[in-house]
Amino acid sequence: MEFTDHTRLGQIATAFPASMRIFEAHGLDYCCGGQRELGEASAAAGVAPGKVLEEIQQLRSISLEAPKDWSKGSLTELVEYLVATHHVFTRTELARLAPLMDKVARVHGENHPELNAIRLFFIELSNDLGPHLMKEEQVLFPYMLDLDAGKTSASCFGTVANPIRAMLGEHDLVGELLHRIRDLSRDFALPAEACGSYQSLFMGLADLEADLHQHIHLENNVLFPKAVALEEASVQA
């Protein structure tokens, strides 16, 4: 696939997953904003579109890594991968970061009041992601697995597009919360007096953000379109 300024971010990330590291570096939202064209998204982020495209082409030419192309994998493989990797990582990191967030905000909040706001957004993020992951694992994903196995399972939501629409809305909210946390932390910049806990917290929040971006990208731009197409094909068969 040839990339241009008119190629959508989600298409680039799907066809060449290593490009996600470049999008992360430039603050380009390839998950919730995956439908935006590279040129438009770059300009909005204050980055020259040609620069991003050039970096992607350079990385592509040297092939630093060869991640799995999930657009060619089965629905079942992708669901199992999402649950075993991204869902587990999200739950583990949210649980690990929660007490660290409380500690850093308590100790450093007086001198850095933005930490108290970051803590509130982190709590909201945790409260939203818990039920979100559960709904995917207990309702949406089992239906998708049945679809992939050729089974006709009854659902309480009609077409799969309905719960997907709800999941997309929740993904947008997660993206907004991550953006607010990054903005308040000034791109996770550490003050000179930052202690080990402060450093560990910001490093963890940055890693959580990067993983959630990849996680949401795979669902928004690969898994959900696959499920819709498979359901439509099964109805027509």
pTM of the model: 0.81
Nearest to 171 by CA among 73, 52, 82: 82
Q: What is the mean pLDDT of each run of 10 residues along the chain (237 residues)?
A: 91 86 86 91 88 88 66 92 95 94 96 97 98 96 92 75 96 97 96 90 94 95 95 78
pLDDT for 67: 64
pLDDT for 166: 96
pLDDT for 71: 85
| DSSP designation for 221 | I
Beta carbons of 175 and 29 less than 8 angstroms apart: yes
Residue 184: burial class (beta carbons within 10 Å; 0-12, 13-18, 19+): middle
- The neighbouring-strand residues paired with 37 are 8
pLDDT for 120: 98
Residue 188: burial class (beta carbons within 10 Å; 0-12, 13-18, 19+): middle
Domain locations along the chain: 9-62, 70-236
According to DSSP H, which parts of the chain are helical? Answer: 9-15, 20-26, 38-44, 49-62, 75-81, 88-108, 114-135, 141-148, 161-184, 196-218, 224-236
pLDDT for 237: 59
d(CA 48, CA 172): 25
Beta carbons of 78 and 227 less than 8 angstroms apart: no
pLDDT for 63: 54
